[in-house]
Amino acid sequence: MSGPHAARQRLGVVLALAGLLALAGCGSAGVYADTPVPTPKAVASASTTPPSTAAPACGKPLASYAPAATDPLATPAGSTMARIKARGRLIAGVSADTLLLGARNPVTGRIEGFDISMLQAVSTALFGSPDHIELKVITAGQRIPSLQDGSVDIVARAFTINCDRWQKIAFSSEYYRAGQKVLVPLGSTARSMSDLKGKRVCAPNGSTSMDKLRTFAGVIPVGSDTHTGCLVLFQQGKVDAITGDDTVLAGLVAQDPYARVVGSAFTAEPYGLGISQAHPDLVRYVNAVLEKMRTDGQWAAAYNTWLRAALGPAPTPPAPVYGRQP
């Protein structure tokens, strides 16, 4: 094979495999580096994960627990925050291959991105330093189980808040509003999902992107562990397109100059930090940290560092919604 297509495939596979190899190390935002990293599977096969059932009528899915009225950043004895401080580190579930949100820097070996900035703010509030975090690399499908089994304190991994998930875990207030779009080859005439009937479209298993993908008649859903796995399949010609949040797809385009994101967003994806239902005190604390970030410029600084180049000037941070009771 020769010509532009072959060049695209060779370059694309090299770029995507570089992303996968970045996962091979164990890393942390601080001094902890003992977490084993799952290996993404780059095998094209239709997902067998059952679609989510209709979201229950939970009222306001964006409503979280309000920060404490008095001294919202206190860590009283017996609280979840006191336990974390005694341990000496916050344990967080993250992505290591979602460029711009949570990805391993190939030079420094550190995982960094917009999602990681949210965790660093929590670490700073707890410990006075952004580096008291153990980052555990998880797939999209592992986000909820990791919180339910207590292996992490918090998850920051492009985690959409919705009613169905509130039945299993708790969320912070919304810290970013993304939207689902589609990525296609540079020369494709497709402009939306309706143009992809009969085509293979990839999304991560266990994600709202996959749930939405299954609602498009005539499109062939293909599952992978991660969006990087989808990118490998795309560059190998095993899928024709990838769907996901615009933030995630922007990172994929940065890795593959022969791909582009097309069309308007067809979902609203409000991101929240996932926390166990057993720890509403930690949710309140994290919400106090996010409140501070919105007002003191930390949120805007994180956006400008990680997302501005790909998505444009910083929008107004999402306003928090409270009123939920444990």
Instruction: Take residue 280 and report the two structure tokens written for it.
Output: 């509403």
What is the distance between the alpha carbons of residues 282 and 18, in angstroms, rounded to a whole number? 36
- Overall CATH class of domain 63-176+270-322: alpha beta
pLDDT of residue 58: 72
pLDDT of residue 56: 41
Reading the chain (326 residues) residue by residue, the pLDDT tens digits are 444 444 444 344 444 444 444 444 344 444 333 334 344 444 444 443 344 334 344 779 999 999 999 999 999 999 999 999 999 999 999 999 999 999 999 999 999 999 999 999 999 999 999 999 999 999 999 999 999 999 999 999 999 999 999 999 999 999 999 999 999 999 999 999 999 999 999 999 999 999 999 999 999 999 999 999 999 999 999 999 999 999 999 999 989 999 999 999 999 999 999 999 999 999 999 999 999 999 999 999 999 999 998 888 999 999 999 999 98
Radius of gyration of the chain (CA): 19
Question: Using an 8 Å Cβ cutoff, are 206 and 140 in contact?
Answer: yes
Domain map (residue ranges) of the chain: 4-26+40-48+178-262, 63-176+270-322
Q: How many CB atoms lie within 10 A of CB 254?
A: 15
With a CB cutoff of 8 Å and minimum separation 6, the contacts of 149 are none
What is the distance between the alpha carbons of residues 174 and 159, in angstroms, rounded to a whole number? 10
Helix axis angle for 280-296 and 80-87, nearest 10°, is 80
Q: How many CB atoms lie within 10 A of CB 207?
A: 28
Calculate the dihedral angle through the C-alpha atoms of 278, 152, 318, 53, rounding to the nearest 10 degrees.
-70
Instruction: Take residue 240 and report the two structure tokens written for it.
Output: 């024709």
Question: pTM here?
Answer: 0.80
What b/e sequence results for 107-145 when a residue is b if at least 16 CB atoms lie within 10 Å of its CB, and e otherwise? eeebbbbbbbbbbbbbbbbbbeebebbbbbbbbbbbbbe
What is the distance between the alpha carbons of residues 33 and 54, in angstroms, rounded to a whole number? 39
pLDDT of residue 61: 96
Question: Using an 8 Å Cβ cutoff, are 140 and 223 in contact?
Answer: no
Q: How many CB atoms lie within 10 A of CB 155?
A: 27
What is the distance between the alpha carbons of residues 262 and 242, in angstroms, rounded to a whole number? 11
Same topology, domains 4-26+40-48+178-262 and 63-176+270-322? Answer is yes
- Overall CATH class of domain 4-26+40-48+178-262: alpha beta
pLDDT of residue 227: 95
Instruction: Take residue 61 and report the two structure tokens written for it.
Output: 């899915």
pLDDT of residue 35: 36
Instruction: Take residue 32 and report the two structure tokens written for it.
Output: 């902890």
Instruction: Take residue 60 and report the two structure tokens written for it.
Output: 């306001």
What's the chain's length in residues? 326
What is the distance between the alpha carbons of residues 171 and 173, in angstroms, rounded to a whole number? 6
What count of Cα atoms within 13 Å lies in the side-chain half-sphere of residue 82? Answer: 6
Question: Using an 8 Å Cβ cutoff, are 59 and 143 in contact?
Answer: no
